[in-house]
Amino acid sequence: MTTSATHTVVPVSHVDPFGHEVLEDPHQFHAELRDAGPVVHLTAQDVYALGRHEQVHAALSDWQSLESGAGVGLSNFRHAKPWRPPSLLLEADPPRHDAPRAVLTRILGPRALRRLRDAWFADAAALVERVLRTPEFDAVTALAEEFPLRVFPDAVGIPKEGRENLLPYGDHLFNAFGPPNDLVEKGTSRIAELSEWVDAQCRPAVLDEDGFGARIWEAAGRGDITPEQAPLVVRSLLSAGVDTTVHGLAAVLHAFATHPGQWRRFRRNPGLARVAFDEAVRLESPVQTFFRTAVTDVRIGGAVIPGGRKILMFLGAANRDPRRWERPGEFDLSRDPSGHVGFGMGIHQCVGQHVARLESEALLTALAERVERIEIAGPVVRHHNNTLRALSSLPVRVVRAGRA
Ligand code: OVV
C-alpha cells in the first residue's frame, strides 16, 4: 500500500442536512461538520460539504474551478433538465453571467436606491404605527412579511393582483435547490400556476414605468442585455428578492426580541441599524446553503474533489465558525460582521443586498423610535425549507416608548 502527502481521507457524515431534525436546529450538525474536517463527504446526497469559513469563503470566490452554470442546487443541469429555465445570474458563469449582472448592479445600487429611501421610511413608520395599536402581534406576518410585500413589488413595478403568489413561489424555488424530498413534493402541485403568474409579471407591458423592471427593459433597449434576457432578469428580482428579505427581517426581529440589551443599545444609537441587520444575517443566515459543481479535479483542504461532482457550501455554518468568529452564537452589535458569507462572496454576491439593507434600516428605525421593549410572547415556530432558515411565527409583546 502506498500513501502520499497529496492524498487525504475525506471524513464521512451520514446525516441528511435536509432532514427535518437538522432544519429545525442545524447548529449541532454544523459544529460536527466543521470539526470533522475542511471537506466532508455526505453520504445522504453523495456530495462534498464545506462547513468552515475559510473553505466556504474560498469556494465562493473560486468561480473558475467551481461553476454555477450546472446549477447551485443538488441537481446537475448537465445531466438533468432544470425545473425552470436557469437564472441568467445565479445559475450562469462568466462571460454569460456578466452583462445581466452589470445591469442589475446599476439598477439596485446605492445611488439608484436614494430616491426610494424617504418613501420607504414613511411606509415603515405608518406600518409600525398601525401594528403598535395592539401590544401583542406576530412579528413575522405583521412586519417581516408585510413590509417587504408592501414596498418591494411596488419598487419592481408589478401590478397589485396576485402578489400573494410571491412567497409560495419563492418557498418552492428555495426548496427545489435541495433533494427531491417532502418539502419539494408539497410545492409541486401549485408550481406550474405560480410560475406562469411570475413569468407573466416580467413582460414590459405589465411593468410600471418607474420600477426596477422597466429599468431592466430599458437596458435591453440600449443593448446592454438582449430582449430575450430581460424577462429572466426581472424574474430574478421576483425570485430572490422577497423570501430572502422576509426571513432576514424575521431574523433581526428575533435577535432583538431575545437580546434586550442589544435593543437598548440600538435605541441609544440608531446608526447601528445596518450593523444590526448584517449581524442578524451572519447569525441566522437566511440562505443556509448553495451548491457549486467542480469543473475539474479541485483540491480543497488536502482533499481532491473529482471534476463534475457537487460541493455543498454551508453559509450558516461558516457564519458561526469559531475559527473565524468570537462567541459566534451571540448577537452582538459591537462586533464587525463584515466578512460573513450570508450574502455570498465574489462575483455572485447578493446583488440585492443594498435593497435588503434599506428595507431593514427603514423598519428598524421606525421601531426604534416607537418601541422601548420587545419580547417573545409565545412559541417561536420555524418554517422548514431546504435552503432558507425561516420562521413562520414570532409572537411578540412590545412596550411603546413614552412620547415627549
Ligand atoms: C440568489 C437567488 C435565489 C433564487 C433565485 C435567483 C437568485 C434567481 O436569479 O432567479
| Residue identifier of the C-alpha nearest atom 10 of ligand 1 | 236
| Residue identifier of the C-alpha nearest atom 2 of ligand 1 | 240
CB under 8 Å to 238, separation ≥6 — which residues?
156, 158, 166, 169, 198, 201, 202
Helices (H), 259-392: 260-268, 273-284, 315-318, 353-370
Q: What are 296's three cell numbers?
A: 475539474
What gap in Å lies between CA 90 and CA 63, rounded to an integer?
Answer: 12
What gap in Å lies between CA 252 and CA 148, rounded to an integer?
Answer: 14
Predicted pLDDT of residue 319: 99
What gap in Å lies between CA 319 and CA 340, rounded to an integer?
Answer: 6
Predicted pLDDT of residue 5: 47
> Which residue reads 441537481 in cell numbers?
75
Predicted pLDDT of residue 156: 98
The domain segmentation of the chain, as residue ranges, is: 2-400
CB under 8 Å to 342, separation ≥6 — which residues?
278, 281, 282, 285, 286, 287, 315, 316, 319
Cis previous bond, 95, omega within 30: yes
Q: Does the beta carbon of 289 lie inside 6 Å of ligand 1? A: no
352 CA to centre of ligand 1 in angstroms: 10
Nearest atom (ligand 1) to Cα of 173: 4
Predicted pLDDT of residue 7: 60
CB-based burial of residue 259 (10 Å sphere; 0-12 exposed, 13-18 middle, 19+ buried)? middle
Q: Does the beta carbon of 239 lie inside 6 Å of ligand 1? A: yes
What gap in Å lies between CA 219 and CA 221, rounded to an integer?
Answer: 5
Give per-residue burial for 280-318: e unless 16+ CB within 10 Å, then b: bbbbbbbbbbbbbbbbeebebbebebeeebbbbbbbbbb
Considering only CA atoms, give the Rg of the chain. Answer: 21
343 CA to centre of ligand 1 in angstroms: 12
Mean pLDDT by 10 residues, the chain (404 residues): 59 98 99 98 98 98 98 98 98 98 98 98 98 98 98 98 98 99 98 98 98 98 98 99 98 98 98 98 99 98 97 99 98 98 98 98 98 98 99 98 72
Predicted pLDDT of residue 8: 80
Q: Does the beta carbon of 234 lie inside 6 Å of ligand 1? A: no
CB under 8 Å to 143, separation ≥6 — which residues?
127, 128, 131, 137, 249, 253, 363
Predicted pLDDT of residue 4: 42
Identify the CATH assignment for 2-400 out of 3.40.640.10, 3.30.43.10, 3.40.50.2000, 1.10.630.10. 1.10.630.10
173 CA to centre of ligand 1 in angstroms: 8
- Give the mutation target among 90, 96, 229 for probing the ligand 1 site: most ligand atoms within 8 A of CB: 90
First-last CA distance in the chain: 80
Q: Does the beta carbon of 240 lie inside 6 Å of ligand 1? A: yes
